[in-house]
Structure 1
């Protein structure tokens, strides 16, 4: 048997890769995306993150004071 040349295999792999990359581009829509509208959820989420960060900071500030107290709860 004659040895199989790798050049045709490499060319076929490159061709398949090029076609696989070109198909999604060809099927893409050309219409522009609609402009984003804000219904207030991103603002609410930002306020919630800020409040959670404030609660975390306060927890770490209060915890050393609570750990150093002399009375036991249990």
Structure 2
């Protein structure tokens, strides 16, 4: 049960992030749209945030001897 909880904990935040970025935003229509959609490195930035977040959680779990 502990392992399944850790796996879910690792996958829930990236699922939320890609769910938000998967919506159809149009920066030309509204100023409330996400500006990073127009950035040259927006896609790779989101991937780097996800990878850093997962790495941080794995380090945290390892440090506390949960995995």
For Structure 1 versus Structure 2, the TM-score category normalised by the shorter chain is: 0.3 to 0.5
User: Structure 1 length as normaliser, TM-score?
Assistant: 0.31
Q: Answer 1 or 2: higher relative contact order, Cα 8 Å, separation at least 6.
A: 2
Flag the structure with larger Rg.
1
